[in-house]
């Protein structure tokens, strides 16, 4: 097989960051008896079988939320049993648990609870008195399917957790360590976090595992369409209000500096080409409309 990967970072006007991985290409094709069953490889075309497989990425996020003294927390929704505090059964709340060390910060996603991970400033507050923070919002897909005794499991141990948190160290760059196919199992994140360094008011690095588990289908042949995976990094109390509420006006809808017709005397410049591109019916550029 031959895969092509694209990694896209989207920076939105509300301060959110979306990371999207796209996978496409030609799946690995093996020959077999048409119509036969293979427990490891579905038949995607007559006599062509493709094994189930995974694409597991790990994003290294060197966070600095209003400085390098940060804390890490796990936040999730929590139901309230029916009783005096919830007589109608429709109330629920949330829990916040600090992950104060590297061993505590090895976590799994939980979509049933809407689990997210929050990185807070240890000293800065927003205008309602809460720590400025960002949320890492996972998709929470499947993790490494290889068995614990396998070589793959030992060398790709980072893929057994959705989240790892480490104290920053400049030499710690790759979740599986340097040259993962040439070293003994256990390098990278398992070795670094064995020291159980503090994450309380420290320079924190997040490591997030994500990616699709691919059970091939007939639509993947002969060239598969794009498969998507990713995560979000969103401000949560980092900003005092929605920054997307204060965007500049579209130049095509503004008037001239002198208060006359739009584009008069170079008022807004939206018709700087050969044709009028202004959205105003009162445009004074004198050029033909497109």
Tokens 């498969």: give the residue: 227
Residues 182-230: tens digit of each pLDDT: 888 999 999 999 999 999 999 999 999 999 999 999 999 999 999 999 9
Residues 255-290: tens digit of each pLDDT: 444 445 566 555 555 666 777 777 667 777 778 877
- Within 13 Å, how many C-alpha atoms sit on residue 271's CB side? 26
Strands, sheet with 43-45, edge to edge from the N-terminal-most edge strand: 30-31, 48-49, 43-45
pTM of the full structure: 0.85
Count of C-beta atoms within a 10 Å radius of residue 275: 11
Sorted by where each begins, the domain ranges of the chain are 2-245, 249-290
The CATH architecture assigned to 2-245 reads Distorted Sandwich (2.70)
């Amino acid at each position: 097989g031959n895969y092509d990967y694209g990694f896209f970072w989207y920076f939105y006007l509300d301060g959110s960051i979306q990371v999207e991985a796209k996978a496409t290409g030609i799946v690995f094709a093996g020959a077999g008896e048409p119509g036969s069953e293979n427990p490891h490889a579905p038949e995607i075309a007559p006599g062509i079988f493709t094994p189930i497989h995974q694409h597991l990425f790990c994003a290294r996020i060197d966070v600095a939320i209003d400085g390098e003294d940060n804390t890490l927390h796990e936040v999730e929704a929590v139901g309230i049993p029916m009783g005096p505090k919830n007589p109608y059964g429709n109330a629920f709340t949330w829990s916040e648990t600090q992950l104060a060390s590297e061993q505590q910060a090895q976590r799994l996603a939980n979509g049933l609870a809407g689990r997210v991970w929050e990185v807070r400033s240890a000293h800065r507050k927003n205008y309602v008195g809460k720590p400025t923070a960002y949320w890492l919002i996972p998709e929470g897909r499947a993790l490494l399917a290889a068995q614990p005794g396998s070589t793959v499991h030992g060398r790709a141990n980072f893929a057994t957790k959705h989240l790892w948190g480490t104290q920053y160290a400049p030499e710690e760059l790759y979740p599986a360590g340097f040259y993962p196919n040439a070293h003994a199992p256990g390098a990278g994140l398992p070795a670094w976090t064995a020291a159980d360094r503090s994450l309380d008011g420290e320079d924190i690095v997040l490591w997030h595992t994500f990616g699709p588990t691919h059970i091939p289908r007939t639509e993947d042949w002969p060239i598969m369409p794009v498969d998507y995976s990713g995560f979000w990094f969103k401000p949560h109390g980092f900003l005092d209000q929605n920054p997307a509420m204060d965007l500049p006006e579209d130049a095509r809808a503004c008037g001239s500096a002198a208060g006359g017709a739009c584009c008069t005397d170079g008022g807004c410049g939206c018709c700087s080409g050969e044709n009028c591109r202004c959205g105003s019916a009162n445009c004074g550029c004198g050029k033909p409309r497109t």
